[in-house]
Amino acid sequence: MTDALFLPNELESALRQIGAERYHVHHPFHRLLHDGELTRGQVQAWALNRYYYQASIPAKDAILMARLPTAELRREWRRRIEDHDGDGVKPGGIERWLKLAEGVGLDRAMVESTARILPATRFAVEAYVHFVRDRTLLEAIASSLTELFSPAIIAERVSGMLANYDWITEGTLAYFTPRLTQAPQDSEWALAYVKRHADTPEKQQAVLAALRFKCDVLWAQLDGLYLAYVAPGLIPPGAFVPGDAE
Amino acid sequence: MTDALFLPNELESALRQIGAERYHVHHPFHRLLHDGELTRGQVQAWALNRYYYQASIPAKDAILMARLPTAELRREWRRRIEDHDGDGVKPGGIERWLKLAEGVGLDRAMVESTARILPATRFAVEAYVHFVRDRTLLEAIASSLTELFSPAIIAERVSGMLANYDWITEGTLAYFTPRLTQAPQDSEWALAYVKRHADTPEKQQAVLAALRFKCDVLWAQLDGLYLAYVAPGLIPPGAFVPGDAE
């Protein structure tokens, strides 16, 4: 680890380099998913497990919001929670993900229970929530910067899934459309915050490590899906077995 | 889940049944390990990652000890920490595991840094530490009950590894010898505590779930090793690559 102080734009380049190397767009499970090489059961396993991540994001954001010192900062973060939880009229990200899960043939109550997800999913997602609770506020905000890379993966995922799975409709993938505008708004704000506040080499190394950690959280979820549902097909005791949901 | 109240011995049978179904002795990575079907690099990956679990146990036990209400209970738990940390003269479990790691060809400082372990290992082990901090004391103690099943796996592992790897010596596996007497002492105490204090159906279901959770923690660590180092050999960015340590 270098101890040099980066200029803000050098720090941004270093953050983007981490995404170029470690973001889960490079994971073989993602490629199989958007290339249409997964069975319906494998896509169900992805939707089921990814739901736990979606459903945990507002808890993560509420923990972070509770640590923000001003109304202005909390308003910025509250918007993210509304994006996921909805406003009671317009459905939020969690509701839209449940629609996706139902659209690929899963039972809504089974998905909401999270009882059949992989332990690897649960442990990775909880590691993210605990990180945001236990690390510095700067590291917690930096860990959200994977949103910098998500518009690309979403565009690729949606077009690939619509092109390659005739049983997946645009309505099923409606989750992703608002994220194409929400994610850049969120990540631009967080990036500006990190560039402004990471003003020592130690803080800059901490934000780079926080983004690496978050990439690990996303990567580990696809690792778990790959082992259990692609190869070698080692489904842990108690986890979802494709076919059970049909 | 049933709401029937088990008699203490019925609860013990239900706990032992969980071990019979979910303990990691049934994981294919364990079978490969003790059957001598792993390369030296694969055994190194196991020793490196398992070190993080070993090194985290005293933190887990200190968190649990801090929640115990009496000197008598804390003395019982303090003994476990001494087993792992040593007394300054007799080496503890962590020091003995480092000897094991060195014995299979790893650099001690690299192992102690834990910088190259799998994120899956880190997330699973931290989930265990957080569980003991955040759940009821009864659930925290119940989560230690995998020790009920460890003498069998240790005996199998040691004999299998000595028989099948000519580059592994009895000295390298000296970690395990004291565990054959420590683990039963620990688990008998914890089992008696759980049988005495789980006196409602809700508490009994909670201790059963705590033991299932702990089995998941151990299983997920072998899942991570299997995916990265056995098949398909998907090593996450930044993790240990066999050969680097040679």
Q: Is residue A240 part of a domain?
A: no
Give pLDDT, residue A134. Answer: 96
Question: Is A227 in the B-facing interface, judged by CB distances under 8 Å?
Answer: yes
**Closest by CA position to A7, among listed A199, A146, A192, A139:** A199
Alpha helices in B104-149 (DSSP H): 108-113, 119-134, 137-142
Contact B120 A122 (CB under 8 A): no
In this prediction the ipTM stands at 0.90
Total-model pTM: 0.93
Q: Is residue B239 part of a domain?
A: no
Q: Is residue A207 part of a domain?
A: yes
* Closest chain A CA to residue B239: A216
Give pLDDT, residue A218. Answer: 98
Measured in degrees and rounded to the nearest 5, phi and psi for residue A51 equal -60, -40
Range of the domain at A64: 8-229
CATH of the domain at A33: 1.20.910.10
CA distance A225 to chain B (A): 10
Q: Which long-range contacts (CB under 8 A, 24 or more apart) does B200-203 make?
A: B200/B5, B201/B2, B201/B3, B201/B4, B201/B5, B201/B6, B203/B138
Give pLDDT, residue A246. Answer: 47
Give pLDDT, residue A244. Answer: 64
Give pLDDT, residue B156. Answer: 86
Q: Is residue B197 part of a domain?
A: yes
Residue-level length of chain A? 246
Q: Is residue A1 part of a domain?
A: no
Q: Is residue B23 part of a domain?
A: yes
**Closest by CA position to A141, among listed A127, A131, A152, A151:** A131
Q: Is residue B164 part of a domain?
A: yes
Contact B223 A236 (CB under 8 A): yes
- Written as tens digits, the pLDDT of chain A (246 aa) is 556 999 999 999 999 999 999 999 999 999 999 999 999 999 999 999 999 999 999 999 999 999 999 999 999 999 999 999 999 999 999 999 999 999 999 999 999 999 999 999 999 999 999 999 999 999 999 999 999 999 888 988 889 999 999 999 999 999 998 998 999 999 999 999 999 999 999 999 999 999 999 999 999 999 999 999 999 999 999 999 998 644
> What total of structural domains would you count in chain A?
1
* Closest chain B CA to residue A213: B119
Give pLDDT, residue B245. Answer: 47
CA distance A120 to chain B (A): 6
Q: Is residue A82 part of a domain?
A: yes
pLDDT under 70 in chain B at which residues?
1-3, 244-246
